């Protein structure tokens, strides 16, 4: 007897067409089903150093993100980081991290189902986001590598300014707020649809 895996549904699966029709200056695509792990450890501790050895990157300090291969390490608080990796990396990462930590005081928790991610790129990214975000998104204030927990149109998001040229911004939003945020993005782009915004 074969057991079928349950179908996974993207929080924004129904929004793909609407997001694809945004103005040329803003491209938005969902990155569903990313591996997301919460790491809690005391900075500078043996556990933190063990994690850094596994990831081959220093755990970032306040308001920063670091990339190690295909794993992005986001600072979430004084002793908390979010590790974001492609779909399918969960088991390997959890196993390697927990093995490295051993009996040291730290936790690695799978939170992949909590959030979905949106990749935003184009010359209108910061302009559109500024309509609903109190953070100053000027590149001199929030340069590449910035990682901020903030509100966008009253929805809690983690906003990551990407390092790669043209990569723009990544938003991580709780799945329950994803449709609301997609609605807001479509509405916020209305004035730019005819190219005069």
β-sheet with 106-110: strand ranges across: 65-68, 71-77, 80-85, 35-41, 106-110
| Domain's final residue, options 110, 126, 160 | 110
Do 95 and 158 belong together in one domain?
Answer: no
In a domain, 197, yes or no: no
Instruction: Please tell me the predicted confidence (pLDDT) of residue 195.
Output: 55
- For residue 99, the enclosing domain spans 35-110
Q: What is the pLDDT along the chain (197 residues), one digit of tens a residue?
A: 777 776 778 999 999 999 999 988 899 999 999 999 999 999 999 999 999 999 999 999 999 999 988 999 999 999 999 999 999 999 999 999 999 999 999 999 999 999 999 999 999 999 999 999 999 988 899 999 999 999 999 999 999 998 665 668 999 999 999 999 999 999 999 888 765 44
CATH no. for residue 149?
Answer: 3.30.1360.120
| Domain's final residue, options 57, 87, 110 | 110
Considering the entire predicted model, what is its pTM?
Answer: 0.91
CATH no. for residue 74?
Answer: 3.30.70.1520
Give dist(CA 85, CA 134) in Å, integer.
Answer: 28
In a domain, 40, yes or no: yes
For the stretch 7-13, contacts whose Cβ atoms lie closer than 8 Å and that sit 24 or more positions apart, written own/partner, are 8/32, 8/33, 10/116, 11/116, 11/175, 11/178, 11/179, 12/116, 12/118, 12/178, 12/179, 12/182
Beta bridge partners of 158: 149, 172
| Domain's final residue, options 110, 127, 149 | 110
């Amino acid at each position: 007897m074969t057991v079928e895996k349950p179908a996974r549904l993207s929080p924004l699966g129904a929004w793909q067409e609407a997001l694809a029709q945004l103005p040329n200056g803003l491209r938005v695509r969902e990155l569903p089903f990313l591996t997301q792990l919460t790491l809690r450890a005391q900075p500078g501790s043996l556990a933190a150093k063990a994690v850094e050895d596994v990831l081959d990157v220093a755990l970032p300090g306040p308001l920063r993100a670091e990339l190690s291969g295909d794993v992005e390490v986001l600072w979430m608080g004084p002793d908390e980081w979010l590790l974001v990796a492609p779909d399918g990396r969960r088991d390997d990462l959890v196993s390697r991290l927990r093995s490295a930590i051993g009996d040291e005081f730290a936790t690695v928790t799978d939170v992949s189902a909590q959030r979905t991610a949106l990749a935003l790129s184009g010359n209108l990214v910061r302009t559109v986001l500024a309509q609903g975000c109190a953070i100053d998104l000027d590149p001199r204030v929030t340069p590449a590598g910035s990682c901020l927990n903030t509100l966008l149109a009253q929805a809690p998001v983690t906003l990551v300014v990407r390092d790669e040229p043209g990569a723009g911004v990544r938003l991580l939003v709780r799945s329950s707020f994803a449709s609301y945020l997609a609605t807001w993005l479509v509405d916020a782009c209305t004035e730019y649809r005819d190219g005069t915004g």
